[in-house]
Amino acid sequence: MESSRKIPDVFKTPCKPAKTKSPISACVTPVTIPASPFMKKLGCGTGVNVYLMNRSGKQIHSPWAIKKINNKCAKTNVYEKRLSEEAKVLKDLQHPNIVGFRAFTTAKDGSKCLAMEYGGEQSLNDQIEKRRAEGLQAFPAVIIEKVALHVARGLQYLHSEKRLLHGDMKSCNIVIKGDFETIKICDIGVCLQLDENMQVTDPKAHYIGTEPWNPKEALEEGIITDKADIFAYGLTLWEMMTLSVPHLEMLDSETDNDDSFDEDDFDEDAYFERLGTRPPLDTSTLGGAYQRMVELFCLCTEEDPTKRPSAAHIVQVLEFNSQLDDKSSGAIEID
C-alpha cells in the first residue's frame, strides 16, 4: 500500500518479472468481489489499487482488503502474474504481524483479485504524512519501539521459518489498525527465496525494493541476503523519527509548504550518491528517550551487511527491552 504523496516517479516500486506458473485456485467458498466503484479505495501500488470490501450476511463478517489490478494495467499480463505469485506466497503464510490470505478470485469485470485480511485503513506512511501535516515531530519513542518489535517479529517469521526475503520493506508496506492496536507487514509480491545461509537462492532473481530504501549491495548487484530487509527496516524506523523519505530529507524541508515538485531543483547526483548509505539523524533534537531506537537504526543501516543484526536477534533484544519497567533506560547491545 503506498501513500498518495507526490514524489518523483523514479522512487515508485518497479514491477518484479514474474515466473510463469499455473494460477492459484480460488477458495472453495464462492466469493463475489464488487466492482471497484462500490468499494472504498484504501491505497495504490505499481499497477494495482487496494480497496476495502465490507462483507454482508446473516453473521457479522470482518472486512477484507482487495488488491486489484488497475484499469490502465489490466491488459498487461505481467501484473496479473505478479498478483498470482503474491497470492501463492501469501496463502502459505500465517503470522499475527503479516496480513493474511483470504482468497484469490475473479471480480465481476473479469479482473483477478487478491482478497486479504483487512490490516487497517492506514499504512504507516499515511500515519507519518498525517503527523507531518499536523506540524508534529517524531512519533513517541514507545510507539516506534512497538512498531519495531512487531515488524521484526514478522521479518523473523519470513526469514527464519519461511526462508523468504520481503524485498520491499518501507512504511508504505506496514498497515496499522486503530491507535497502533495491530501492526502488520503487507505487499509481499516481490519476495525472494532464501537458502539455509540466508542468501537469495536463484542467481537470476532480481531484488526490487524501492530506491531510497535499497541497501548498497542491491544497488551494486552484490550478494542479497536477509540483511537487505534489515537495512530497509532500519530506514523505516528513521522515517518514524524524521517523518521524511530516506535521502530526500533536504527536499522535504524545502517543499513543506509547496506540494509541487520542480525537477530543476532536485540534485540528482547528490541523491544517487546518498543511496545505500545511512541518512543523517538529529539525535540532539530527539532526546534520550529515543536512544535505543537510534542505536538500532544505526546497527541496521551498517553498509556491511554482515554487521547488521538478524531479525531474530532484534526480536530477542526488543522483547527484553519491552519487559523493562523504565523505558528510558537500557540500550541495545548487538555484537
**Residues identified as active-site:** 168
End-to-end CA distance of the chain: 34
Q: CA angle 255-249-245, nearest 5°? A: 100
Sole residue written with cell 537500557: 330
Q: Which residues pair with 68 in a beta bridge?
A: 49, 113
Longest Cα separation, the chain:
59
- In angstroms, the CA 274 to CA 219 distance is 11
- In angstroms, the CA 209 to CA 334 distance is 26
The cell numbers describing 187, all together, are 505487499
State the DSSP code for 276. T
- In angstroms, the CA 279 to CA 212 distance is 10
- In angstroms, the CA 140 to CA 155 distance is 23
Helix axes 311-322, 141-156, angle to 10 degrees: 140
Check: CB of residue 90 under 8 Å from CB of residue 114.
Answer: yes
Residue type, 79: Y
Helix axes 311-322, 291-300, angle to 10 degrees: 170
Sole residue written with cell 485480511: 117
The cell numbers describing 210, all together, are 524501492
Radius of gyration of the chain (CA): 20
